[in-house]
């Protein structure tokens, strides 16, 4: 009987963990869409979400060198705009 009770408690903990994970991953998808839109507006390039990586408050763009160069030319303007947007305010560098 105790196994059944503790099993139910563990399921609640797992459920809570999955809810938190869904919220975090959902925020990342929103952030990537927002980043994609900002880059499109400021630079004029559409970078696919799969080529955008956010890690340790840094946006890493994994695409061709020509596209990265275009983004880097407007890096200061992009970072400034990211800091003013709630979904992307945590991004403080682009590599």
Structural domain boundaries in the chain = 2-94
Which among 77, 32, 22 has a CA at the least distance from the CA of 53?
A: 32
pTM of the model as a whole: 0.68
Specify the residue for token string 């060198």.
65
pLDDT digits (tens, 9 = 90+) for 1-59: 455 455 566 667 777 776 676 566 555 566 888 899 999 999 999 999 999 998 888 99
């Amino acid at each position: 009987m105790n196994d059944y009770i503790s099993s139910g408690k563990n399921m609640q903990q797992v459920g809570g963990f999955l809810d938190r994970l869904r919220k975090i991953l959902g925020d990342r998808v929103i952030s990537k869409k927002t980043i994609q839109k900002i880059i499109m507006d400021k630079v004029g390039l559409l970078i696919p979400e799969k080529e955008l990586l956010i890690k340790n408050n840094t946006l890493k763009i994994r695409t061709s060198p020509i596209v990265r160069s275009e983004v880097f030319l407007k890096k200061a303007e992009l970072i400034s705009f990211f800091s003013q947007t709630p979904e992307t305010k945590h991004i403080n560098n682009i590599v």
